[in-house]
Amino acid sequence: MTHDPSFLSSAPGAAPDGPGDSFPWRQWMEAAPVALWVIEAGQVLWANEACARLLGGTGPDLLVGQALTQWLGAQGQEALQATMRPDSPQQSKSSVSLRLGRHDGSPRDVEVQFAHLGWQGRHLVLMAFHDVTLRASELRQLLRSRRTLRELSASLVEAREEERRHIARELHDELGQRLTALKLEMSACAMVHQVHPSAPVFRTLDETVAAVRRIAADLRPPMLDDLGPVAAIDWLCQQHQLRTGLQIQVRIEVPPERLPPTLATPVYRIVQEALTNIARHAQATQAQVHLFVRAGYLVISVQDDGVGFGVAPQRPSGSFGLIGIRERALMLGGTVWMGRGEWGGAHLEVHLPMQAAAQATPPTSGDGRTTGFFDTNFGDVEP
């Protein structure tokens, strides 16, 4: 493109070659508080005072004839021009976020809006720049804060799982063995003193042993570490059905060897929390737990025939079950979807990437690290 002195040197609103050739609305654009410039073939044809202030120049005339790469860089100009092409699939975008480099070298984050103009048979592009540096900086700080909180959450979840494992082991190995030894000693004493083994003290002791085993299994079932999540989830559903009367259909279409070790604990806890939510809030009689693989993702689908989530459901005070499910999924790079299921009740689907989990290194303690298809879309739907 060659410099057009007649266009650039003409007074605002005047025509370079006569009244019929006047550039439209130029006088208004000169006084606009928004940074504006007109480009042609990648070079600045005209700019207003606000644009010069944004770029830190002494006047708009210094911008004329300069290439976009001077402020946008080669990559920024390429991305902008790809979006501005009339045939671009992204041309319907209302704005494009870019980073400008000022004359003093300092960067500014801007949102660019543009319009294609035809003037005297030439193709021009009018661009408006909105300085969003402060907003972009605050957004980056917010994202860093969220990332830090998620890392902290992952660390807390891992520490809690390790503590559960430790307490369950202590209950099973220490307290369980001591209770068993006590029962043997009481049996020997009963034989000496001819006490019938059906005495209340023996029943109480048996109930205590059973309670300790149940509590240890609820904290962390040994089969989760010994047999893997498939067997543990099947056992969990059976126990939940016995305790609540909820009829649970279990469909696990994932071979145990295909499940990465890092997914064992998160998958078990997600199913456990989903079933707990159903028992507390759904008023359901039936539920289904379905695990399968789709497009490289492990899909955990849990649905019921209960009351569902309603039109504008509210999370009861002190209930954080679905928040915990979402956080576990996000920490693993997965997503959560929820809505109404085929049975008329609530339907929860969690998608966890298999490949990322397979490449992760399990912690030395043997616990699956809880680092969480659809976009996460919770809104207020949190029972």
Region 323-343 average pLDDT: 87
pLDDT of residue 372: 30
pLDDT of residue 274: 93
Region 252-277 average pLDDT: 88
CB 300 within 8 A of CB 357: no
Distance between CA atoms of 46 and 35, rounded to whole angstroms? Answer: 11
Checking if the pLDDT of 28 tops 90, the result is no
pLDDT of residue 8: 42
pLDDT of residue 176: 80
Residue 232, Cβ neighbours under 10 Å: how many? Answer: 24
pLDDT of residue 17: 44
pLDDT digits (tens, 9 = 90+) for 144-154: 888 888 777 77
Region 304-321 average pLDDT: 63
Checking if the pLDDT of 333 tops 90, the result is no
pLDDT digits (tens, 9 = 90+) for 182-201: 888 888 887 887 766 667 77
Checking if the pLDDT of 366 tops 90, the result is no
Checking if the pLDDT of 349 tops 90, the result is yes
pLDDT of residue 381: 35
Q: Which one, of 163, 164, 142, 157, lies nearest residue 331 by Cα?
A: 157
pLDDT digits (tens, 9 = 90+) for 282-292: 889 999 999 99
Checking if the pLDDT of 5 tops 50, the result is no
Percentage of the residues of the chain whose pLDDT score is greater than 70: 77
Checking if the pLDDT of 61 tops 50, the result is yes
Average pLDDT, the chain: 76
* Residue of higher predicted confidence among 242 and 18: 242
Tokens of 197: 């083994």
pLDDT of residue 219: 82
* Residue of higher predicted confidence among 161 and 46: 46
Tokens of 124: 């021009």
pLDDT of residue 92: 46
Tokens of 353: 């990437």
Percentage of the residues of the chain whose pLDDT score is greater than 90: 15
- List the 122-131 sheet strands across, edge first: 43-47, 35-40, 122-131, 107-119, 96-101
pLDDT digits (tens, 9 = 90+) for 229-261: 888 899 999 989 998 999 999 999 988 888 888
pLDDT of residue 166: 82
Distance between CA atoms of 337 and 330, rounded to whole angstroms? Answer: 12
Checking if the pLDDT of 15 tops 70, the result is no
pLDDT of residue 288: 94
pLDDT of residue 20: 40
**How many CA atoms within 13 Å lie on the side-chain side of 213?**
10
Grade residue 357 by pLDDT with cuts at 50, 70 and 90.
low
